[in-house]
A = this chain, B = another copy of it.
Amino acid sequence: MASMNMIQALNSAMDIMLKKDPSVVLMGEDVGYFGGVFRATEGLQRKYGEQRVIDTPIAEGGIVAAAIGMAVNGLRPVAEIQFADYIYPGFDQITSELARLRYRSAGEFYAPVTIRTPCGGGIRGGQTHSQSPEGIFTHVCGLKVLMPSNPYDAKGLLITAIEDDDPVIFFEPKRLYNGPFDGDPTKPAVPWSAHPKGQVDEGYFTVPLGKADIVRPGGAVTIITYGTMVFVAAAAAATMNLDAEIIDLRSLVPLDVDTICSSVRKTGRCVVAHEATRFSGFGAEILSIVQEECFWDLEAPIQRVTGWDTPYPHAFEWEYFPGQARVAAALKAVMELT
């Protein structure tokens, strides 16, 4: 066990896989010599060479396409898209090709590509460095979609993703790179070293896909969330002294419906929280499944806590961010305290 922040955990996962499997390669803008703008691949090109850790042109569409071709030729590319806001130029290759190849070739061809990309706000990035587009990818059949919320899961899930034979879109909530964040920017930053999930096995280990993590068991209400919102939701519930069961999905596709539904059946109340915009966001799918599966157990309408349906504005970051106040309002409503 070592204390790692999320960047170190991701770096460790890639280091281990580069060593373990000669077919693993890393690629992306500034990932090689420089080690990535968030330093996730730092030192890996020096260690494994330019053939394994590859600087690419600034062309997300070309990066994804090349990764597909490499994967078809037996490699396991891990491609970094520098910011999730810049994944769209690669959207056609992801949606029309990466996600469909196994299907259209009846399994004869497939591309085990992992696409890592930092998402979410809270770092003063403005509208083009703060987006959370995960919902879009959950609608594209053939893709697995992950979003860890801590160093331990980040490492274990990334290793699982790299070894998985299906394409994986791996979102990294960049606000959590250096420490858990409860949504209050005025508080001093807490490092991962002070958090149990910042204690990470230095060796090889995996975290299974499709298994949600019950961060806090509770009986009063179920909060279904992932990414940046895990700690915000926990803090809000704690302040309200609510015995909330907090579920960190970690894996959006495949989705752990059992864990979600058995919790809601138990509590009868449910809040869904994510940082992404609300309208047609992934929260809608979660809410729909809960409504379909647990309707008769619900004692109050399910509430959604999300970012607003606007771009992420540079000057109003904290008015935009779904902080504790927004979570608290939803909890009040679902507990019928108003």
Contacts and interface: CB of A to CB of B under 8 A. Distances in A.
A311 B141 contact: yes
A301 B292 contact: yes
B138 A279 contact: yes
A287 B289 CA distance: 10
A288 interface: yes
Interface stretch (A83-91, A113-121, A156-164, A243-251): A83-91
Instruction: Identify which of A103, A287, A304 gathers the most chain B CB atoms within 10 Å of its CB.
Output: A287
A128 interface: yes
Given A88-B95, A91-B92, A141-B309, A279 B291 contact: no
Given A96-B85, A127-B104, A310-B141, A288 B277 contact: no
Contact of A291 (B136, B253, B302): B302
Interface residues of A, number: 42
Contacts of A139: 135-136, 277, 279-281
A282 interface: yes
A281 B301 CA distance: 21
A11 interface: no
Contacts of A288: 283-284, 287-288, 291, 302, 304
A300 interface: yes
Nearest to A277: B141
A92 B96 contact: no
Instruction: Identify which of A127, A138, A139 gathers the most chain B CB atoms within 10 Å of its CB.
Output: A139
A258 interface: no
Contacts of A303: 292
A135 B89 CA distance: 19
9 contacts: A88-B92, A88-B95, A89-B92, A284-B287, A291-B302, A292-B301, A292-B303, A295-B298, A295-B301
